[in-house]
Structure 1
Amino acid sequence: MFLRSETPARLTGVEACRDFFADCMAGSAGVNGLWVAHVDGQARCIQLAAYPAGAVDGDLPVQKIIEQAAQLSSVGMVVAEHRTGDAPDVPAARAGLRQLSLAAEAMDVAVLDHLIFTGGECTSLRRAGLL
């Protein structure tokens, strides 16, 4: 599913990204989900893509995400996932993120952050020094 907004949200910093994706997470209680926000050079969200639960369970759709980045001429992206349970699975997220980051870097597209929402918490892999 792809969504566009009349007035693009600016994804500048962890708090802005957390607030932006919190709306996505609101409807996914009890279900894993993955979202990717593609941004322009001014950190405005130009497209939001949602992926099925399997994308969170270790099968990150790197090729689809990179194809969308190319089609949109995005300069960056923010990845967010909702995981059921109490603690984020950071090692699994890092493995998929590493593949995505390498592919994006080859296209001069930055992975700005990867947020993991679990329970009432949000973990930023950028803030944790893992990105």
Structure 2
Amino acid sequence: MFLSRITPWSRSAEQPSLAGFDAARRYFASHFSRTDPARERLFVAYLDASARCLHLARHEGDAAGIDWPLRSILLEGARRGCAGLIVAHNHPSGDSTPSAADLSATRRLATAGDAIGLTLVDHLLFAGDECASFRRMGLL
């Protein structure tokens, strides 16, 4: 799958705070609004200890899904010395119900992240106008 990285601010600019569900939802919704809703995408926000976004990565999928690059997500977080991360992806189908693959990838990412001191703060799933939070659903 194609992988591109987005860094919408410079080091000298203020990094956006993603503390709390509403702030994270608004932040990721603004990025999804600039993409083709017929393709699945995965955004990863790498956070400092104050939940400020230090870096944003985007991973491209297609209409059928996306391969989660778990190893590269964790390596990038460790390389940047991040305290945590928030992942967000979309379902082009419009159904915000997490799939078995979503649940598995989230569990694997959270477990591996914990082992290296990188907390998976939340996984947001966007489907049309809906946004589901794995944390709020008790899945994290």
TM-score interval, normalised by the smaller of the two chains: over 0.9
Matched, 1:124 2:116: no
2:103 to 94, 97, 122: 94
Letter aligned with residue 30 of structure 1:
A
- What residue in structure 1 maps to residue 85 of structure 2? 77
Distance 1:113 1:93 in 2: 13
Letter aligned with residue 95 of structure 1:
S
Moved over 2 A (4+): 56-59
Structure 1 position 30, deviation (Å): 1.9
Matched, 1:62 2:70: yes
CA contact (8 A) 1:3 1:47 kept: yes
2:15 to 8, 12, 15: 8
CA contact (8 A) 1:3 1:48 kept: yes
CA RMSD of aligned residues (A): 1.5
- What residue in structure 1 maps to residue 122 of structure 2? 113
Give the structure-2-normalised TM-score: 0.87
Structure 1 position 45, deviation (Å): 0.2
Structure 2 unaligned runs (5+)?
none
Q: 1:24-53: per-residue Cα shift (whole Å, max 9, x none)?
A: 110222221000000001110000000011
Distance 1:108 1:57 in 2: 28
Letter aligned with residue 31 of structure 1:
R
Q: What secondary structure, in the 3-state scheme, does the structure 2 residue paired with 1:87 have?
A: coil
Structure 1 position 89, deviation (Å): 4.4
Question: How many residues get paired?
Answer: 130
CA contact (8 A) 2:41 2:59 kept: yes
Change (3 A) 1:52 1:58: closer
- What residue in structure 1 maps to residue 33 of structure 2? 26
Q: 1:45-67: per-residue Cα shift (whole Å, max 9, x none)?
A: 0000000116x835210000001
Q: What secondary structure, in the 3-state scheme, does the structure 2 residue paired with 1:34 have?
A: strand
Q: 1:70-109: per-residue Cα shift (whole Å, max 9, x none)?
A: 1110000000001101212413211111111111011111
Letter aligned with residue 34 of structure 2:
G
